[in-house]
Structure 1
């Protein structure tokens, strides 16, 4: 179902809309955001320099570090009296990156997610089971508002309590399920434990994202649930879910909401723009955001883009599914966390040494993380075995709580004796991935 004529607009019309909105956005940030005033001045750029879409490449990049450096409100482009919501994610300094929304931003976001759900198979009047987590992350509330905007009956079950998830699917008969692929697979397993054949449920479509997932995982989900499984893309710094969505007709690339975002792909090392079809780092510029417009945001996600008319009839730019990260980000159950963020939390505990490893594994199809970290030598010198063991347990419990409070993920911590972690003459081996690729 095509919600808006813009989804099938000729390229000339789309480019005119994009250029008009780009000019407005550049003017907006130049007038209202000191950060952009400074970097525009540094690069000798004014809003009058934007006369074509190609001029976008002359604008400076924005990075996640810029958001951290301007924590919490430094990148806001409107008076705080107009802000109606904040979302946030964890950061390396222990402080989150904060994004803001005006009422108009929420309305626009709702429209875009409604469009995305429609692209993925959702229809007004049907029921959507939303198993994305609610809270500071954008997934749960983003899909919730979009579902309601589309006119679907929305079940805000959030994540967790898997037995309840199964019960609600059985009772409410939804046609669409939204969540991370790994968690939906856990729901499937719970169904099977309870004697329910997953393929016999009412579900017809799945909209999955917030973590990388393979074609093999797609086939498993589709075969188990007898659904069409589609990918959704977004990130809080740009907006949230709804930036791009895979259509259920083709399942071949995600349609980007080009009337709201300009997308580029760059070589992450040279920062030069790459041609269509070539893998590189995705860069997004928002065109319609009020509270926190963003210019050439480097996402760190690796993908390619291309333009073609899809079998679904849409003509908007497509992007491939995310193929990896420029950096070494770890994604645990839909939550992004960098090893450096974990390291920061480890080093807040005085008794722990900066020698650690992160062990990734699978538990019932969900990613799990174990942190192995050493105690400092001075903590064990002269201490008896019983006291050392008590300290190890207490420190492990403390670290687990610190990580949960600041990185928003549940981990297992194992505190070991000094010298237990292998040393390296080159780069330290921080991540050990024991997961079997799906």
Structure 2
């Protein structure tokens, strides 16, 4: 195995012994250095000595995003400011970001984990790495950048946006790996098609995509349009950033979690009790090696499941299923729970539609209503007599979409089929849901 993969083949007993040692150290670290955690533990009648097994993690209190906001900016840091070498953050509804800090050791560990992930995705030291994740406070760009450099890749820090320049550099620099949000990479792929560039004319072999939920159908679309293998990467700034987990290119069957750095739980978000292996629930992460901002039982809001079966690639690490969605993105329409990624999954199976859509939440009287805005392909549009959007073939396509949504997603939706290029394209994370219910009430 490559040097970055050796720990990923440890036995379960070896890994759990390492996790317990690091968990005990982390709990002692926060108890000693973070007043917030010390107060929480004392209120729960817990001391660092209370943690004698991995099962004892259930004794520890949860951390939620509002705790980071309440301790803005540096209240949860566990080291002196002089030891912090990097600060990242994620945007918040109040206008202030949730702030995370890193020591030199933290950033070195992060880079090594991302490098390990790039190897799992199929990358090699000699590859050129085209990084279309956004740079800045968002952890995606710099997280992938330093991981690629750690592996030894020649890294192109193109960031997001300026799509035609991206394509020029892909043609000229001939990268083997491309990374970005799936919705933005789709934007690049579609622009290539418009320019007459075919998959066999580009050098890219692997794609590392994440920062938003995406379906298996989106994977197939990206792989076909670019002629690549596409893998999912997972991370969030509060836990570290990208690199917490990643799929391997051999199996593309669940994301390998860096068990040596993170302890994962899956809980029922209502009862807060653990769910059985293989069952969907909310992901909860505890960091095991972070110094500047160690995090205890962080409720991510992401919905997924885990398995501890050995992967066919040979790695023994815990694997998580691809994230279905976030609790706060879950739509509850007339008593039915549904995630945008499930709508995407079935839309992409319908011919004559491009992989772009938006969900508009509106009101019909006092009832919630869903408008699904989709976009026809240029070929379908050009074959409409007089480009007439009222033509019967548009009506037939609408019925097909309505049937798919009602049959598979169990929700009746108002379907709006739009001309090509009508739905905004992403240059970062796609905006899938527009909630107009308050506007309807106000009017």
TM-score for both structures, normalised by structure 1: 0.77
Q: For 2:285 and 2:267, locate their aligned partners in 1 and report how far apart those are by CA, in whole Å.
A: 11
Q: For 2:61 and 2:376, locate their aligned partners in 1 and report how far apart those are by CA, in whole Å.
A: 44
Q: For 2:373 and 2:149, locate their aligned partners in 1 and report how far apart those are by CA, in whole Å.
A: 36
| Aligned counterpart, 1:281 | 282
Does the CA-based 8 Å contact 2:181-2:429 persist in structure 1? no
| Aligned counterpart, 1:192 | 193
Aligned length: 354
Q: For 2:287 and 2:106, locate their aligned partners in 1 and report how far apart those are by CA, in whole Å.
A: 11
| Aligned counterpart, 2:441 | 423
Offset, 1:362: 6.9
| Aligned counterpart, 1:141 | 142
Offset, 1:409: 8.7
Q: Which moved more, 1:305-314 or 1:191-200?
A: 191-200
Offset, 1:423: 2.6
| Aligned counterpart, 2:118 | 117
SS in 2 for 1:288: coil
Offset, 1:94: 2.2
Q: For 1:119 and 1:135, locate their aligned partners in 2 and report how far apart those are by CA, in whole Å.
A: 26
Structure-to-structure mapping, 1:84-233, within 5 angstroms = 84-233=85-234
After superposition, what is the alpha-carbon deviation per residue over 1:35-77, rounded to whole angstroms, capped at 9, x for unaligned? 0011001100000000100000110000000000000000000
| Aligned counterpart, 1:320 | 321
| Aligned counterpart, 1:11 | 12
Offset, 1:190: 1.5
TM-score for both structures, normalised by structure 2: 0.76
| Aligned counterpart, 2:55 | 54
- Does residue 25 (structure 1) correspond to residue 26 (structure 2)? The answer is yes
SS in 2 for 1:231: strand
- Does residue 299 (structure 1) correspond to residue 300 (structure 2)? The answer is yes
Does the CA-based 8 Å contact 1:188-1:198 persist in structure 2? no
Does the CA-based 8 Å contact 1:134-1:158 persist in structure 2? yes
Does the CA-based 8 Å contact 1:281-1:299 persist in structure 2? yes
Does the CA-based 8 Å contact 2:184-2:429 persist in structure 1? no
SS in 1 for 2:178: strand
| Aligned counterpart, 1:376 | none
Offset, 1:91: 1.6
Offset, 1:96: 1.1
After superposition, what is the alpha-carbon deviation per residue over 1:17-38, rounded to whole angstroms, capped at 9, x for unaligned? 0000000000000000000011
Q: For 1:54 and 1:329, locate their aligned partners in 2 and report how far apart those are by CA, in whole Å.
A: 30
Unaligned 5+ residue runs, structure 2?
Answer: 332-338, 341-368, 378-427
| Aligned counterpart, 2:246 | 245
